Amino acid sequence: MDVITVVCDGKVAMLILSCSLLMFCTFVGFFLLFSTPTANGCASYQTCKECQANPECGWCDDETGTGLGTCIEGSYRGPMENKQVDYDLCPADRWFFVDCPCKY
């Protein structure tokens, strides 16, 4: 799956595409996101769902299987610092941008 973020008239949307190796893509879904920036940025969100409502944030799972983690700045590519992907902030296998980790 590929995720494309689109901004139009102050609204942020995510397009979900399924693409083959030859880059033929099929439209899978469209999600209109509404977010209000907070004074503390991504760190102020306490749940994965709250975190992912802001298109500038992603969820880093804490690996306990409880759904707990930390909301940090990022994109569908991964966690970001200074507009660069930085997997030292959160390893790729613990990064959730579109859906949240399962609770066991």
Q: Scanning the structure block, which residue is given the tokens 């296998």?
A: 93
Token pair of 36, please?
């209000």
Strands 57-61 and 95-96: antiparallel
pLDDT > 80? residue 101: yes
Per-residue pLDDT at 54 = 86
Cα(49)–Cα(54) distance, integer angstroms: 9
Residues with Cβ within 8 Å of residue 73, at least 6 apart in sequence: 41, 42, 56, 57, 58, 79, 80, 81
Task: Give the residue extent of every domain in the chain.
Answer: 1-34, 36-104
Residue 31 has pLDDT above 60, yes or no: no
Q: What's the mean pLDDT when you consider all of the chain? A: 79
Which tens digit of pLDDT belongs to each residue from 5-17? 666 545 566 667 6
